[in-house]
Structure 1
Amino acid sequence: MKTMTCRDLGGPCDLAHRGESADDVINAQDRHLKEAEKAGDATHQEARDAMKGRWRHPKKSLGWYRDTQRAFAALPES
């Protein structure tokens, strides 16, 4: 298991997401941002909008995805 925070993934807070793969933490971040948006948390709105854009335009966002995968791979197991 490895850990990345909301901030590591482009968000504004230090909530930790744990997973076996980069995809696990990316999906956890997506759920976190959706929940923050539903709760009316304006501090997460910019990150939520960016995440929505990545899901809608995956080819365009491939650089962010690859960077996140590399960052995840470089993390120590926790």
Structure 2
Amino acid sequence: MTCRQLGGPCDLELSADTADEIIKAQDRHLREAARSGDQDHVPAHEEMKGRWKHPVKAMGWYRNTKKAFAALP
């Protein structure tokens, strides 16, 4: 999946064996990009950090991401 497919701003391809691993890879990518000063990634990084402050919305994102991952070839 790409960063953009996971809610980020770029087309970096991330790979993993499970949806949970791809989510962790996206979280790492956003954190590293934001720390390195990439301003395009800051909003997505902030959203990722605050995701679980709104559990109902977060669970919807999580379920949708798992479905999207499962639908990939």
The TM-score range, normalised by the shorter chain, is over 0.9
* Structure 1 or 2: more strand by fraction: 1
Matches within 5 A, 1:23-42: 23-42=20-39
Equivalent in 59, 63, 72 of residue 55 of structure 2: 59
Question: What stretches of structure 1 of length at least 5 have no aligned partner?
Answer: none
Equivalent in 3, 8, 21 of residue 6 of structure 1: 3
TM-score by length of 2: 0.92
* Structure 1 or 2: more helix by fraction: 2
**How many residue pairs align between the two structures?**
72
- Match in the other structure for 2:71: 74
Structure 1 position 53, deviation (Å): 1.0
Q: Secondary structure of the residue that 2:28 maps to in structure 1? A: helix
- Match in the other structure for 1:19: 16
Whole-angstrom CA distance in 2 between matches of 1:59 and 1:48: 17
